[in-house]
């Protein structure tokens, strides 16, 4: 079966480096994910009981709102509304709370965005498995270590379950970390409808309108499909489809030689 994959490079957002209190400091920087994504607590409380995040370095806040489209509200529901709960939106929410801002985050799909659900996390899980298989299948390498390994094999569904379970765990950790800090998670597709006004809601339901002093747009990325290529989800697919394949193709042609294309080729 002939397959063509098209990929796009995700937009990256600079993130503030955080100092975490742990007995064994380790480097868990993973495509912008913070340590709480791996279940490592970052919360500390002052003598007054206020939740704090320990930070270091300098940071920048990026905000966006519409121009002369209606009248800005005089009072606000939130200090900050973030549209998009991916890695960028999640990091912004934690930083905003640390600065004492009342914060809400709007997610139209699932928490974690492309990185956790359709990008970095599942693809790195698959890379780890393929790397381990490559090592086990290298007779010369195993012999150099004094090891003897019988024919190595893999269970395709088991590998897929491993990637899905990892994404699910990190998605849950991201959600819990925001809830623990008091970030309101609003579900629905967010749209800026006026100065400092955002509506959100699910398809088929009445939209809700909330206001904020500042708005951050962190809507992430989607696969780019070149003109002339029609995606059918079967023989012509994107990187999103590739992570959900129910079989291993005999061969594929990958359109795009960025890091995403290289990962899938591996």
46 domain residue, yes or no: no
| pLDDT at residue number 8 | 35
| pLDDT at residue number 11 | 34
Q: Is the pTM of this model over 0.85?
A: no
Q: Are residues 141 and 238 in the same domain?
A: no
| pLDDT at residue number 2 | 40
Q: Are residues 84 and 216 in the same domain?
A: yes
CATH number of the domain that residue 103 is part of: 3.50.50.60
What number of other Cβ atoms are within 10 A of residue 164's Cβ?
A: 16
Mean pLDDT across the chain, nearest whole number? 78
118 domain residue, yes or no: yes
Residue from 170, 133, 138 nearest 153 by CA: 133
Determine the Cα–Cα distance for residues 154 and 175; give it in Å rounded to an integer. 32
11 domain residue, yes or no: no
Q: Are residues 159 and 251 in the same domain?
A: no
4 domain residue, yes or no: no
30 domain residue, yes or no: no
Q: Are residues 164 and 210 in the same domain?
A: yes
Phi/psi for 20 (5° steps) reads -115, 145
The more confident residue out of 10 and 263 is 263
250 domain residue, yes or no: yes
Determine the Cα–Cα distance for residues 76 and 95; give it in Å rounded to an integer. 20
CA 91 from chain centre, in angstroms, equals 10
With beta carbons less than 8 A apart as the criterion, state whether 221 and 4 touch. Answer: no
- Is residue 209 classed exposed, middle or buried when 0-12, 13-18 and 19+ CB atoms within 10 A define those classes? middle
Q: Are residues 103 and 195 in the same domain?
A: yes
Which CB contacts under 8 angstroms, 24+ apart, belong to 223-232?
A: 223/6, 223/7, 223/8, 224/6, 224/7, 224/8, 225/6, 226/6, 226/255, 229/4, 229/6, 229/255, 231/6
Range of the domain at 245: 224-265
Q: How confident is the model at residue 81 (pLDDT cuts 50, 70, 90)?
A: very high
pLDDT tens digit sequence for 127-156: 999 999 999 989 899 999 999 888 888 898
pLDDT tens digit sequence for 162-213: 999 999 999 999 999 999 999 999 999 999 999 999 999 888 888 999 999 9
Q: Are residues 253 and 146 in the same domain?
A: no
Domain count, the chain: 2
CA atoms within 13 A on the CB side of 101: 21
Q: Is the pLDDT of residue 55 over 80?
A: no
Q: Are residues 217 and 229 in the same domain?
A: no
Q: Are residues 136 and 183 in the same domain?
A: yes
Percentage of the chain beyond pLDDT 90 is: 43
What number of other Cβ atoms are within 10 A of residue 150's Cβ?
A: 6
Phi/psi for 156 (5° steps) reads -60, -45
The more confident residue out of 28 and 234 is 234
Expressed in angstroms, the distance from the first to the final Cα of the chain is 19
34 domain residue, yes or no: no
Phi/psi for 43 (5° steps) reads -85, 135
Q: Is the pLDDT of residue 23 over 50?
A: no
Q: Is the pLDDT of residue 70 over 90?
A: no
Q: Are residues 101 and 185 in the same domain?
A: yes
Q: Are residues 99 and 152 in the same domain?
A: yes
**What are the helix (H) ranges across the chain?**
87-98, 113-118, 120-136, 139-144, 156-180, 239-242, 259-265
DSSP assignments along 6-52, one per residue: E--PPP------B----SS-----BTTB-GGGGT---EEE-TT--EE
Q: Are residues 234 and 112 in the same domain?
A: no
252 domain residue, yes or no: yes
Q: Are residues 201 and 90 in the same domain?
A: yes
């Amino acid at each position: 079966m002939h397959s063509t994959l098209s990929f796009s490079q995700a937009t990256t957002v600079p993130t503030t480096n955080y100092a975490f209190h742990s007995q064994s400091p380790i480097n868990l920087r993973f495509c912008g994910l913070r340590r709480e994504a791996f279940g490592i607590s970052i919360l500390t409380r002052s003598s007054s009981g206020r939740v704090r995040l320990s930070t270091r370095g300098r940071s920048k806040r990026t905000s966006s709102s519409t121009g002369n489209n209606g009248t800005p509200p005089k009072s606000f529901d939130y200090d900050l509304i973030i549209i998009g709960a991916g890695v960028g939106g999640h990091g912004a929410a934690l930083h905003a709370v640390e600065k004492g801002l009342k914060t809400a985050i709007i997610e139209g799909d699932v928490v974690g965005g492309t990185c956790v659900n359709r990008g970095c996390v599942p693809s790195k899980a698959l890379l780890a498995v393929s790397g381990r298989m490559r090592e086990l299948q290298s007779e010369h390498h195993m012999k150099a270590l004094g090891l003897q390994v019988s024919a190595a094999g893999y269970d395709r569904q088991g590998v897929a379950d491993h990637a899905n379970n990892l994404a699910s765990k990190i998605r849950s950790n991201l959600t819990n970390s925001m809830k623990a800090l008091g970030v309101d998670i609003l579900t629905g597709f967010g749209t800026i409808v006026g100065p400092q006004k955002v509506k959100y809601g699910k398809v088929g339901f009445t939209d809700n309108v909330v206001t904020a002093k500042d708005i951050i747009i962190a809507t992430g990325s989607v696969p780019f499909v070149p003109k002339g290529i029609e995606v059918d989800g079967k023989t012509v697919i994107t990187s999103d489809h590739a992570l959900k394949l129910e079989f291993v193709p005999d061969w594929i042609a990958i359109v795009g030689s960025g890091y995403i294309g290289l990962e899938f080729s591996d």
